[in-house]
């Protein structure tokens, strides 16, 4: 992840918590063009914060689904794992 973000961006992502790092890694590995477009538009951190909130809420509310992997729970609730455009 370090080679894809500036030091400042990395510090901001890390300051948002472990889940934000996980999501940022997923986005940059799967959709680097979209990530670049979000940074160019100045909306990356707003989109990341929104995704973190959505995922955190769904995963916290589904304690009875701990037999599933987090990505499976997100799929059930139709939470998009890809970065937005």
Residue-wise pLDDT for 75-85, tens only, equals: 888 988 898 87
- Long-range own/partner contacts, residues 79-82 (CB < 8 A, 24 or more apart): 79/54, 79/55, 81/26, 81/30, 82/27, 82/30, 82/31, 82/34
pLDDT digits (tens, 9 = 90+) for 51-66: 999 999 888 877 778 7
What does pLDDT average to over the chain? 91
Q: Is residue 84 part of a domain?
A: no
Dist. CA 46–CA 44, nearest whole Å: 6
Q: Is residue 45 part of a domain?
A: yes
Q: What is the pLDDT of residue 8?
A: 95
Q: Report angle CA 34, 31, 78 to the nearest 5 degrees.
A: 95
Q: What is the pLDDT of residue 63?
A: 72
pLDDT for 38 beyond 90: yes
Domain count, the chain: 1
Dist. CA 64–CA 9, nearest whole Å: 35
Q: What is the pLDDT of residue 2?
A: 59
- Domain containing residue 37: 2-76
Q: What is the pLDDT of residue 62?
A: 76
Q: Is residue 54 part of a domain?
A: yes
Q: What is the DSSP letter of 7?
A: H
């Amino acid at each position: 992840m370090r080679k894809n973000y500036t030091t400042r961006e990395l510090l901001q992502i890390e300051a948002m918590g472990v889940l934000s790092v996980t999501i940022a890694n997923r986005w940059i590995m799967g959709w680097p063009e979209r990530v670049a477009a979000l940074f160019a538009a100045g909306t990356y951190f707003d989109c990341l914060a929104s995704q973190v909130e959505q995922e955190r809420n769904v995963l916290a509310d589904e304690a009875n689904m701990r037999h599933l992997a987090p990505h499976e729970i997100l799929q059930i609730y139709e939470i998009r794992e890809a970065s937005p455009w």
